[in-house]
Amino acid sequence: MKRAVKLLLGGKALEVEANGHLLRSARCELRVPEVIRLKNFVRVPYKEVSFCRKNVLLRDGGVCQYCGREFRFEDLTVDHVVPLSRGGADQWNNVVAACKDCNRKKGNQLPDEAGMMLLRRPGAPRSATFLQVARHHGRSRDVWKKYLFYES
């Protein structure tokens, strides 16, 4: 929000939607922006998504990659498809979000051995992932939905 206000005051962005609150200072009053539009297109620099638990869960959308059910992040684990103890790597293409039940059931086995199937083959998130991340964070904000490509 701070950044959005700076961009508005600097004339770099236009307000699209406000949330009904006001910011007051000695000199001015500003509606608190909820959605802004940059006046100029800004290329988002390519940045590799860092490899960590939270980003693995975000990449998989909070969905267990074995049973397909959605969980809160605290109820998910990061499963190594090929277990570390069997030479699996600690890398994007070998980790998936898994619920505790599925992780327990799979144990130290390969998916095949456990009779489990992955919803999709894991990989490093592409640049489009930042949109996915934004969608995940934005899904509780009604006003953002139409900008984050949710169906109404």
| Category of 11 on φ-ψ map: left (φ > 0), alpha (ψ -120 to 50) or beta | left
Q: Which residues pair with 76 in a beta bridge?
A: 99
Nearest distance from C-beta of residue 129 to Zn ion, angstroms: 22
Residues 116, 32: Cα–Cα separation, whole Å: 48
Binding mask 66-105 for Zn ion (x = CB under 5 A): xx-------------------------------x--x---
Contacts of 70 (CB under 8 A, 6+ apart): 61, 62, 63, 64
Q: Which CB sits closer to Zn ion, 83 or 138?
A: 83
Nearest distance from C-beta of residue 104 to Zn ion, angstroms: 10
Q: Which CB sits closer to Zn ion, 100 or 141?
A: 100
**Under the rule (CB under 5 A), what is the footprint of Zn ion?**
64, 66-67, 99, 102
